[in-house]
Structure 1
Amino acid sequence: MRLKNVRASRNVEDRRRTGGRAGAQIGGVGLLIVLAIGYFAGVDVTPLLEGQGGQQSAPRELSAEEERAAEFSSRVLATTEQVWGQVFPEHLGRQYTPPVLVLYSGVTQSPCGGASGATGPFYCPADKKAYLDTEFFATLSRQLGAKGDFAAAYVIAHEVAHHVQNELGILGQVNQRRQAVGEAQANALTVRLELQADCLSGVWAQAVDGLLEPGDIDEALNAARMIGDDRLQRQAGRVPQPHTFTHGTSEQRSRWFATGYKSGDVNQCDTFSARKL
């Protein structure tokens, strides 16, 4: 993704100079399983990682790699601000207020609960902030098999898409419905929510097509496949259990991203009315 001439967003809150590294003593397959359980099963596993090197530490200097990750994230965020800042008034008849992106290292707190590298990137509607441990980019590439800068950009765009849903009132409506039904039905609603965010990420990708390099869309589609619920459950040594899915299958995630990208139309992302996901 060509970001050299893209401005950096001012809506970034960088907390990485303070805080501990959660999970410092968990490595290899163990860390991958904990990450999968936490992020993709929707479980806060921060307590499992506390005491593994996650205690508070003195302020520290950021590495060159961390600085690059922040710059990259800030510029990707700026592209989402431009895209949704145009889509909202032109197609949805309202103004867009962008979210804040919180960069943290290891562990942090949010109104939605504790955040750690194990929970993965997430959006908190209570404070309208997206939370990202930039180490997740390495996890995405090295452990989950989703390589490339546009795979990382897709992750940011997906969390911003949840903010778009929040601005449109979709998140609140879905949360109310989830509280009134059983676990399996609540999970099914969450899947539709996540697939819609994938589709909205595709709409963003179509809008920034002029910044894309050859292979970028393939990177995003591969990332969507690599983090499908069915694949992650197999990677964790389990037989996929559809009633426990919270994000959608690999095929669903990649297809809905492609739907958004090919159409460039927010109206094509109505996963809640779709008969087939």
Structure 2
Amino acid sequence: MKWEGNRQSDNVEDRRGSGGGGRFGFGGKSIGIGTIVLALIGSAVFGVNPLTMLDMLSGGSGQVAPVQQGPATAPPASDRKAMMVSTVLADTEDTWTELFRAQGGTYVKPKLILFSGATPTACGTGQSASGPFYCPGDQQVYIDLSFYELMQERFQVSSEFAQAYVIAHEVGHHVQTLTGTADKVRAAQQRMSQAQANQLSVRMELQADCYAGLWAHHANRSRGILEQGDVEAALHAASAIGDDAMQRRSQGQVVPDSFTHGTSEQRARWFKKGIESGQVADCDTFAARQL
């Protein structure tokens, strides 16, 4: 992926080395790729209780507790991964600002928080074991960059474009918050069985995958970011973290009613649809008869 020399976002805060913070009430459920990693293999790989983390990231409810923060610190210029994610965030800002403007709206930029270990969020205590996630309570994306090492070790995914897909997916959840989709889904889930609520979660995650593809389409058209093999690497990443693939690895069997993010085929297909179409309307997974 061609990103060096492009604009970097000012909305990146580096909390690494500042220490993690205690327990906080949940202000909204955090949604992210890391939810799969934690819920399905977290117990074996990270030694944490997957139910506890899943509650924090997928269903925790309660009042928003204040999140105390120190002065924002930008990542050092010598940190290549931090510079890459800063550039990707800037790219999503440019893309979604234009897409919102075309619809007569205003895009509110999220902040990206780099942390290590643990950090306070409006959705509870964010931990490295959760992987990257988005917190609607404070409209911020959180990532421990060591997650990229996990991607390479467990899923053989190392391309920078595949890493960028992770950021773009979480930003997709921010778009769902701004458009009201996330609130509607959460309200509907309160009136459903767990299996039905899971099905809505799948549609939300697949839409975020499509939105990530949408970003790639417009970023490449405007700034020529794609190189040979990039799309294939991102599709491989999407496939590697499908619910079916993750369950097969962790427990040796697949339980479709428990899916919350979609199958490998679905995740790859919706990302591909976004990158090929470039149209927001084509990412309406909630209206799709077949995922």
Same fold per superposition (TM over 0.5):
yes
Number of residue equivalences: 252
* Deviation at residue 145 of structure 1 after TM alignment: 2.4
- The 3-state SS of whatever aligns with 1:192 is helix
| Mapped contact 2:4–2:84 kept (Cα < 8 A) | no
| Mapped contact 1:202–1:257 kept (Cα < 8 A) | yes
Q: 1:156 aligns with which of 167, 173, 183?
A: 167
* Deviation at residue 186 of structure 1 after TM alignment: 0.8
List alignment gaps of at least 5 residues for structure 1: 21-28, 46-62
Alpha-carbon distance in structure 2 between the residues aligned to 1:82 and 1:263:
18
Alignment partner, residue 141 of structure 1: 152
Alignment partner, residue 107 of structure 1: 118
- The 3-state SS of whatever aligns with 1:93 is coil
1:66–1:187 CA distance, 2 compared to 1 (3 A): farther
Q: Does 1:186 align with 2:197?
A: yes
1:121–1:186 CA distance, 2 compared to 1 (3 A): same
Q: 1:80 aligns with which of 65, 79, 92?
A: 92
Alignment partner, residue 23 of structure 1: none
- The 3-state SS of whatever aligns with 2:79 is helix
| Mapped contact 2:214–2:275 kept (Cα < 8 A) | yes
Alignment deviations for residues 94-131 of structure 1 (CA, whole Å, 9 cap, x no partner): 01111000110011121111211211111111110011
The worse-fitting range, judged by mean Cα deviation, of 192-201 and 108-117 is 108-117
Q: Quote the sequence identity (%).
A: 46
When normalised by structure 1's length, the TM-score is 0.85
Alignment partner, residue 13 of structure 1: 13
Q: 2:248 aligns with which of 234, 238, 257?
A: 234
List alignment gaps of at least 5 residues for structure 2: 21-40, 58-74
1:68–1:191 CA distance, 2 compared to 1 (3 A): same
When normalised by structure 2's length, the TM-score is 0.81
Alpha-carbon distance in structure 1 between the residues aligned to 2:267 and 2:107:
25
**RMSD (CA atoms):** 2.5
1:106–1:31 CA distance, 2 compared to 1 (3 A): farther
1:200–1:133 CA distance, 2 compared to 1 (3 A): same
Alpha-carbon distance in structure 1 between the residues aligned to 2:158 and 2:248:
20
Alignment partner, residue 273 of structure 2: 259
1:260–1:197 CA distance, 2 compared to 1 (3 A): same
Alpha-carbon distance in structure 2 between the residues aligned to 1:152 and 1:84:
19
